[in-house]
Chains A and B, each alone.
Chain A
Amino acid sequence: MLQVYGTELRSRLLLGTSRYPSPAVLTQAVKASHAQVVTVSLRRESSGERAGQGFWSIIRELGVRVLPNTAGCHSVKEAVTTAQMAREVFGTPWIKLEVIGEDDTLQPDVFGLVEAARILAAEGFQVFPYTTEDLVVADRLLDAGCRVLMPWGAPIGSGRGLNNLFGLKALRAHFPDVPLVIDAGIGVPSHAAQAMELGFDAVLINTAVAQAADPVRMAAAFAQAIEAGTEARRAGPMEPRDLAEPSTPVIGTAFLK
């Protein structure tokens, strides 16, 4: 079972709640995914609309844990203040820390990320930092108090899968005991299965499910892929080779020339 900040999770799929065609589809997709953790956010709300209140009651009825994010924050100050506000509203010390450094790729500002992580960890937050596969940054985040890391697979919403396999494998090998969650860039279930086969602990998916033609069906497909990838990792995948090797024994081959 996956352990994050002392919480045991059976499901290795963390699901985002954004961009679904309707609240009903969101509810069904969360159920079909068997996710035990969903990500949520904070936005301005005018007193008349109460959209946020309705959303929050839907999530509470699902009985899942919430992981609030600091999406849209470009500075340490914004991210820290958003985290403080999220802790009060959602009643959890968990925070998916995003400090965005570049708008086209939504690449994290890793310098601000480390600084914000240090401040939040000192304030008692349990930080899930959205980071890159950079080993030195990972080390600094752990030093700052993070006990989980969330490296990107590809830019948020791009659906391009695991862009830097070498870097991600190196990250896994360097930090064998740190829970590593692939966050962002997963497009199809095979990407998620691949992440699990490489030994990552979980994947966080949003757009790939929400924007599928049938999000509920896709949520179930992801659940199956993650299960398969997890089992494959436990089973110990073979090492790839450059040349062919006959799978049928050569000894005793008939001489028929």
Chain B
Amino acid sequence: MKILVNGAWRSTGAPDLAAALLELGYGESVVATALNGEFVPVGSRNDARLAEGDRLEILAPMQGG
């Protein structure tokens, strides 16, 4: 299926958010995730099922003012 990852379409076979992060190469990174605009805490990533067209945001620490 295709999902939108940080604004870009990606193909994935991952059933849930935790698996998608591994597949996309974020394995050890400190990131926060939101699925379709809703925050998904680390502990809930296994339960967050993915579906065609889902919007996934993966955010990391960045400089800020």
Interface of A toward B, CB cutoff 8 Å: 16-20, 26, 39-48, 50-53, 55-56, 59, 68-69, 71, 77, 81-82, 84-86, 88-90, 156-157, 206-207
Contacts and interface: CB of A to CB of B under 8 A. Distances in A.
Interface in B28-61: 29-34, 37-39, 41-42, 57-61
A238 to B, nearest CB: 35
B37 A46 contact: no
A56 B30 contact: yes
Given A18-B64, A81-B37, A89 B30 contact: yes
Contacts of A45: 6, 29, 31, 58-60, 62
Contacts of B34: 81, 85
Given A45-B59, A45-B60, A81-B34, A53 B29 contact: yes
Contacts of B63: 16-20, 26, 40-41, 55
Contact of B59 (A59, A69, A85, A206): A85
B64 A89 contact: no
Contacts of B25: 47-48
- Which of A39, A47, A77 has the largest number of chain B CB atoms within 10 A? A47
A178 B33 CA distance: 34
Given A47-B29, A53-B60, A157-B65, 16 more contacts: A16-B65, A17-B63, A18-B64, A18-B65, A19-B63, A42-B61, A43-B59, A51-B60, A81-B34, A81-B38, A85-B59, A89-B60, A89-B61, A90-B61, A206-B65, A207-B65
